[in-house]
Structure 1
Amino acid sequence: MPKVVRIAGPAVLVVVAFVVLVLGLEYGGGATAQLLEDPGPLVRFGLPMATLLVNLSASLTIGALLLAVFALRSSKPEFTRAMDVAAAGAALLTVSAALTGFLSFLNVTSASASIDSKFGQILGQFLISVPLGQAWLETTLIAAAVTVLCFAVRNLTALVFVGLLAVVALVPMAQQGHAAGADGHDAAITALFLHLVFSAVWLGGLLTLALLSKQLDNARLVDVVSRYSSVALVCFVVVAASGYVSAELRVGSLDRLLTPYGILVVVKVVALVVLGLIGALYRRLLIRRLSASQGRAAFWQIVIAELVFMGVASGVAVALARTATPIPETVPTTLTPAQILTGEPLPPELSAGTALGQWNFDLLWVLVCAFGIFFYLAGVWRLRRRGDSWPVHRTVFWVLGMLLLLFVTNGFMNVYEKYLFSVHMLGHMILAMMIPIFLVSAGPVTLALRAIHKRTDETRGAREWILLAVHSRFGTFVSNPIVAAILFATSLLTFYYTPLFRWATVDHIGHEWMIVHFLIVGYLFAQALIGVDPVPYRLPYPFRLLLLLATMAFHAFFGLTLMTGSGLLLADWYGSMGRTWGASAIVDQQTGGGIAWSIGEIPTIILAIVVAIQWGRSDTKETKRLDRTADRTNDAELNDYNAMLERLGRSR
């Protein structure tokens, strides 16, 4: 394929994106001159253009890093080329983020750029003290670090962390995005972050494919395109779901689709639908034709078409961020204490009736649970197709665990945990002690290792990464039963009696980290006691029971401490909500301690029963094994033992 075609593909994306951006700004009024303190046309048009460069360069970086660690051979030129693409994308991200931060400063202050000390002092204060400036400064510094690491790092495992760092660069952008100040603050941040990340993977992966095509022969191109298409399908689902949530928060109703903002949303939806149809062509047409060695013309036709519509979607997305929403972002003149602290009005009094009717959906965990159930069932189906069996009860355990996780992270506990410590503690107990029992009993690692195809081309797929994680030094260390028990027990003190608790309560990112933390430490502890997946070391059954009792004794002591304590945790939060219903904050906290002590013991009993059952089954299996050995050898071991006793008796 001529070089001009390889260059034309990415160039088409950039040109279409900028043209659509300008048209979107003109149509939606995003670049209309302000009546007071207008920053000028250079800033009005330059700021969204710089933002578009940020999005494209971040996509190039993240997409190239993903393909490098998931689809490419590290010993071949394709890998080196991908890392060059990632480094170039990160360098462009650094420059464009710095430019966006500077233009944002001019847009906010309407100041004229100059080189005098006063201008530099004001700019420095903006970058250090103002959240918008801090966000772009953080993105710039993270992007600069990623640029250096892309040149310096070639170890695949280390590159995973470089990729995660590149994803972290999108967090400040999500926090200061268009919807961050609207109603549904937490939902808006989550939706925007997911949209940014998975759009970046989708777009960046395709751009990297286009730039790598020269280094890939037909057979390798088939492999890489197949792997990319699987990732792109997941990205399509997440981008569609997060886009819907964002549109719902900003548009609200169908009649508002006739506004300029609504029309731009419709254009973006159409582009997304077309991209989904093009993605279907990858599996049904492109991969088959490449496999049949029918040339690359079809590859470039589909890739360029997809890049055109990705350019449309990218340009419209930035134009939307500069367009006024049909739902005005207004701040009430009178705020209740709950609104000041949480940004949301106080929910109705908690009761059995309101508990079932109160939901606060967290898109992140909705997707985690949905994908978790889908991929587990897909793995079971793959085993059945090839004639292998999988215990039905394990599938039931996994589905129940995922559904329980969905309820905890989206149901009434996600509504009331901000206002009632007792509800927060109930969620903690379920996340750390109940859900892991179901998940561990389902044997997800064993299923994945049996269902996922093994790679034979020197690359690392999901199976290889899982094996690497399980057998790594860190994985071996944290899965040690003693370490898992220490992590499970000490995390209570570390979390509730350090600033981590405030962070997890006040900050949405901290809240998401809290859920992940509780799940992981609970999973490791349950895996050490009753897990069916392979681990480097397991304690004998008597010691498992002793470990369980010792850990739960510490857990009960923590609960009793809260029950009898008179000092309020986060008094300026739970004690300042202005609730006119329910128990006082200190009584509610003592109730939370009772939940930690009493309800927390239910999973303990379940774990003890399961350990006892497994112990009994283990003894039964060992007895049967010894009986089979005795039958096969005519009781050779027993005869040898009796002969030894006889010789000892004679020697006396």
Structure 2
Amino acid sequence: MTGASRAVAWAGVVTAPTVAITVLAATGALAAPTGGLPDPGVAVRVGLPAATALRDVAAALTVGLLVTAATVLPGPGSRRRLPALTNLQRRTAVIAAAAASGWAAATVAMLLLTYANLAGTTIGVDTVAALPYFLTDFDLGRALGLSTAGTLLAGFVAATADRPGHLGLAAVLAVAAVLPLAWTGHAGSTVNHATAVDAQMTHLVGVTVWVGGLAAILILRGRLGDALKTSVARFSVLAGWCYALVAAGGIAGAAVRVPSLAAITTTSYGQILLAKAGVLVILGVAGWYHRRRIIRQLGTAPGRRPFARLVMAELLVMGAAIGLGVALARTPPPDAGAAEAIDATTALLGYPMPPPLTATTVFTAWRPDPLWLPLALAAAASYLVAVMRLRRRGIRWSPARTITFLTGCLMMVAATSGSPGVYGQVLFSMHMVQHMTVATAVPTFLVLGAPVTLALRTLPARIDGSRGAREWLLAVLHSRYVRVLSNPVVVIALFLGSLIGFYYTPALEFSLRTHVGHLLMLGHFLLVGYLFANIICGIDPGPPRPHHLFRLILLIVTFGFHAFFAVSLMSGAAMFAESWYTSLDRGWGPSIADDQALGISLVWALGDYPIAILAVALIVSWIADDTRDARRHDRQADRDDDAELQAYNAHLQRLQRPRVPKSSTDLEGLD
């Protein structure tokens, strides 16, 4: 890293807190409070946004360095039998570990300053002593504490990494440590908090990978040599996706918090948001110029200087964007005063109580889920694009697989954005419809679409030892973790144990009261259901599956237990999440007891059609495997003139020949 690059890097780090403090001072947000809690002092009022900006910069560096090392940098070459890290990848991981330490330190400073700001006290011994209380009893403290723990774990894995898989794990942990940051601030307190939290998570992931990855390219460009052009081209594709995530998350978040277009120009929040949008446009133009002009010139030494200058300018602009984001998070949105008029039910649900559930609204109720709807649409679109790629290469892909996969995506949309998503937090019966659809029906259709096989046939392969999407998919498929998770005993334990653990613990109420819990519930049951369906009727490559007869036994035993679980729910007298349902002001529909009885009966009923689909798919797979085995034996017989059958016949003939005595002892035995 040259002296000019180092100076620009430090300038980018300083730019974020400087812009944040300057903007907040200009809007009056740093002024001492005039009422309510006491003034915590200038050090707290100024130090909190500065620490937040430094945390965001360190988080971006950590995530970007790890993602770049795991997916962009060249590997040790394809001739190595054992995967290892190059010196450049190992050096990048060490730098990322150092950045993670700075991230954790800035977050700890944020914890102290945030508590002091909320309590209206200066930083002192009492503030440090109250930190455990803040970490355990406040949502904001728990989120920051969880992020700190994830950061330290990611930094430790990065510092000790000696295999590409370790780099990938560190990158995943770093991205996961970013997500709790979306649960705080305006995203966690707005009325439509589900959309706000999902939009903020999308925005943060895009920003950290994009900004940190670009900084990583600048830091490492002198050591990349001839691989600079290839690495930049790879990162350019990744940056394009990140740009889309940042834009989508920003637009969705603004739509939730800004009530009208007039508020954009008449409020401080809207003006800062407008400035962020302008910065995003500038960065988009710079990215387009990168792809059109700069990347082509990187093959020559003179062409690298314009690239370095443009990247340095981009990083300075990105530092300003991070500062604007910090200022935006500490500026009240235009509709902040409207929160007083919200009723208790709307505050709990995050949206008004839906109308009564009728035979019509079961099919017409619609509330787009901000996370699962885009994911399902993206999965369907990616699948269709891959099928068209195969068709252009003259390879036929089964229409039945396409139909089943798209059906799974459609059912996921219906379960999360249709009436089960609208009424799932209001009625226990609709929660059961959503749960059973996501846990059994959706995974079955997705597995029958063979998405992994399609991805392996269409994703481009790399030959320089680095890992792209295809290489990481193969690495995951052959990892020991997947082998353990694909073990039939483990899958059955997860599938059945999740039901007991979810409905006989506070997990159900946690998923109803918090959006994060709801996301974790859906993600967990979708994954476990996919693992189970993949064992029963999967055709994708991966760990070996048991024999078809054993799969049939597993299917019968599992859904037999499922029926027993439904009976145990019916016979139980306990009410599920009673405090949650009684806190909702629902003036229509059945009573809580009657609705729960209906929901429990649906557990039994909705388990029938998935088992029928799985059973049919298992039988079809069984017959297809037997047919393939027969054809393979026929082809082998044609090649060797049925040598195996001839050898077997000869063996039978030898067994039928009369035994000839070889000695007098044998003759005595015959007598």
Q: 1:109 to 1:543 in 2, by over 3 A?
A: closer
Q: 1:411 to 1:280 in 2, by over 3 A?
A: farther
Q: 1:530 to 1:17 in 2, by over 3 A?
A: same
- The separation in 2 between residues aligned to 1:269 and 1:358, in whole angstroms, is 34
2:157 and 2:166 in contact (8 A); partners too:
no
- The separation in 1 between residues aligned to 2:411 and 2:263, in whole angstroms, is 36
Q: 1:162 to 1:105 in 2, by over 3 A?
A: same
> Which position in structure 2 is the counterpart of 1:28?
27
- The separation in 1 between residues aligned to 2:352 and 2:388, in whole angstroms, is 45
- The separation in 2 between residues aligned to 1:606 and 1:146, in whole angstroms, is 41
- The separation in 2 between residues aligned to 1:332 and 1:30, in whole angstroms, is 22
Letter in 1 for 2:68: L
Q: 1:213-244: per-residue Cα shift (whole Å, max 9, x none)?
A: 12111x31122212222221221111111111
Task: Tell me if 1:174 matches 2:173.
Answer: no
Shift of 1:547: 2.1
Shift of 1:357: 4.2
Q: 1:240 to 1:356 in 2, by over 3 A?
A: farther
Shift of 1:631: 5.6
> Which position in structure 1 is the counterpart of 2:49?
48
SS in 2 for 1:295: helix
> Which position in structure 2 is the counterpart of 1:364?
371
In the superposition, the TM-score normalised over structure 2's length comes to 0.89
Shift of 1:12: 4.2
- In the alignment, structure 2 segments of 5+ residues that lack a partner are 76-83, 660-671
Q: 1:532 to 1:580 in 2, by over 3 A?
A: same
Aligned mate of 1:92, from 89, 102, 108: 102
Q: 1:488-530: per-residue Cα shift (whole Å, max 9, x none)?
A: 2332222222333233232222211111111111111111122
Which runs of structure 2 are paired with 1:200-211 in the superposition (5 Å)? 200-211=208-219
Task: Tell me if 1:228 matches 2:235.
Answer: yes
Q: 1:625 to 1:333 in 2, by over 3 A?
A: closer
Q: 1:134-184: per-residue Cα shift (whole Å, max 9, x none)?
A: 444444454444444443333332333333333343344322222311211
> Which position in structure 2 is the counterpart of 1:183?
191
SS in 2 for 1:205: helix
Task: Tell me if 1:534 matches 2:533.
Answer: no
- The separation in 1 between residues aligned to 2:504 and 2:133, in whole angstroms, is 33
- The separation in 2 between residues aligned to 1:495 and 1:533, in whole angstroms, is 29
- The separation in 1 between residues aligned to 2:323 and 2:564, in whole angstroms, is 57
Aligned mate of 1:275, from 274, 283, 297: 283
SS in 1 for 2:336: coil
- The separation in 1 between residues aligned to 2:610 and 2:285, in whole angstroms, is 47
1:150 and 1:162 in contact (8 A); partners too:
yes
SS in 1 for 2:106: helix
2:55 and 2:107 in contact (8 A); partners too:
yes
> Which position in structure 1 is the counterpart of 2:328?
320
- The separation in 2 between residues aligned to 1:124 and 1:639, in whole angstroms, is 79
- The separation in 1 between residues aligned to 2:595 and 2:386, in whole angstroms, is 44
2:16 and 2:54 in contact (8 A); partners too:
no
Shift of 1:206: 0.8
More displaced 10-residue stretch of structure 1: 221-230 or 25-34: 25-34
1:77 and 1:215 in contact (8 A); partners too:
no
Shift of 1:34: 2.2
Task: Tell me if 1:162 matches 2:170.
Answer: yes
In the superposition, the TM-score normalised over structure 1's length comes to 0.91
Which runs of structure 2 are paired with 1:250-399 in the superposition (5 Å)? 250-259=257-266, 260-291=268-299, 294-332=302-340, 335-336=343-344, 338-339=345-346, 341-399=348-406
Q: 1:303-337: per-residue Cα shift (whole Å, max 9, x none)?
A: 1232233123212111111222111244447844x
Shift of 1:647: 4.3
> Which position in structure 1 is the counterpart of 2:449?
442
Q: 1:633 to 1:123 in 2, by over 3 A?
A: closer
Shift of 1:583: 1.7
- In the alignment, structure 1 segments of 5+ residues that lack a partner are none
- The separation in 2 between residues aligned to 1:322 and 1:473, in whole angstroms, is 45
> Which position in structure 2 is the counterpart of 1:110?
120
SS in 2 for 1:651: coil
SS in 1 for 2:191: coil
More displaced 10-residue stretch of structure 1: 96-105 or 15-24: 15-24
SS in 1 for 2:360: helix
Task: Tell me if 1:78 matches 2:85.
Answer: no
Letter in 1 for 2:290: Y
- The separation in 2 between residues aligned to 1:631 and 1:133, in whole angstroms, is 72
Equivalent pairs counted in the alignment come to 647
Letter in 2 for 1:62: V
> Which position in structure 1 is the counterpart of 2:580?
573
SS in 2 for 1:460: coil
1:199 and 1:235 in contact (8 A); partners too:
yes
Letter in 2 for 1:390: W
Q: 1:120 to 1:58 in 2, by over 3 A?
A: closer
> Which position in structure 1 is the counterpart of 2:668?
none
> Which position in structure 1 is the counterpart of 2:79?
none
- The separation in 2 between residues aligned to 1:627 and 1:152, in whole angstroms, is 53
> Which position in structure 2 is the counterpart of 1:417?
424
- The separation in 2 between residues aligned to 1:164 and 1:627, in whole angstroms, is 48
Letter in 2 for 1:531: G
- The separation in 2 between residues aligned to 1:162 and 1:642, in whole angstroms, is 60
- The separation in 2 between residues aligned to 1:41 and 1:414, in whole angstroms, is 46
Which runs of structure 2 are paired with 1:511-590 in the superposition (5 Å)? 511-590=518-597
More displaced 10-residue stretch of structure 1: 54-63 or 604-613: 604-613
> Which position in structure 2 is the counterpart of 1:67?
68
Shift of 1:86: 0.9
